Structure 1
Amino acid sequence: MFQLQWIWHNLKGYRKFYVTALVLTIVCNALYLTTPYFSKELVDKFLSSKDALFNLEHERKLFWLLLAGMVGFTLVRTICQYTCNMTYELSSQGMIYRIRTHLFRRIENQDMEFYDRNRTGDLMTRLTGDLDMVRHAVAFV
């Protein structure tokens, strides 16, 4: 629970983006259910039915409507997914910038003994590698 509070605190200024991305994730996953529905209707009515040829000749408008719905919802889902990914990235990059700035200030104010005990490479690895793992966890990369 403490980790979620820490992440929420560090998302300050980007919380709206993050919540928007979470909502978009739910919407995108719901939109994944539309393509199988349209496919089922097309196959059942115009391919595997006994009256498939009759339906294709007399219900051509329904055929094109189902096809357009399938393509349209796929396009909307793709745009939604792209927006979702960009919003996650925006919020995670903002959070990481905030954390890195805070950590840099802390490291910058250390005394010389701190730098004698800790190698520069180790400090850099912790600042880059560990924070990159936090960013990946937040951005669902």
Structure 2
Amino acid sequence: MTTSTIAPSTIKTDSIVARLIERHGAAEEQRIRSGVDRVALRWTAEDGNQEAFEAFCTRWFVAGEQDRIRLLDRFETFLGSVGGHLGEIRRDLRRWSDLRGERFEGLDDLMATFDPAPDLSDQLYRQQLAFVALLNFPRPDLATMIA
């Protein structure tokens, strides 16, 4: 997936939503519908066809509360580790421009602007981790979050 504008999805969601409701029960209907819709909005031809989309949703929808808690814990650990290590790398690369000391004119500032993971967001979609999160966890808008 690219960071450019996302083309309207050609993915149909009705059949996979119905199958997931049949499999996991009517109590999960709202979560299923909203999760499948969130994934469909971001799914592109690069991610796969209709069959790949449905296989993904079938494989990665997590119904049980305990399993969702485990999934959330995994994501928190994963993102904390990735973010923490990238933060450490960025801090190390900026140290010569941030701290007083011997300067290497030009090079210190050039190193400080280096980004070791410029496509991290794209990578999360390519590896489909972002889709797993979109399928299983709500993504509230700002108004909902501050209410």
Alignment TM class, shorter chain as reference: 0.3 to 0.5
Greater RCO, 1 or 2 (C-alpha within 8 Å, sep 6+) = 1
Q: What is the TM-score with the length of structure 2 in the denominator?
A: 0.33
Structure-1-length-normalised TM-score: 0.34
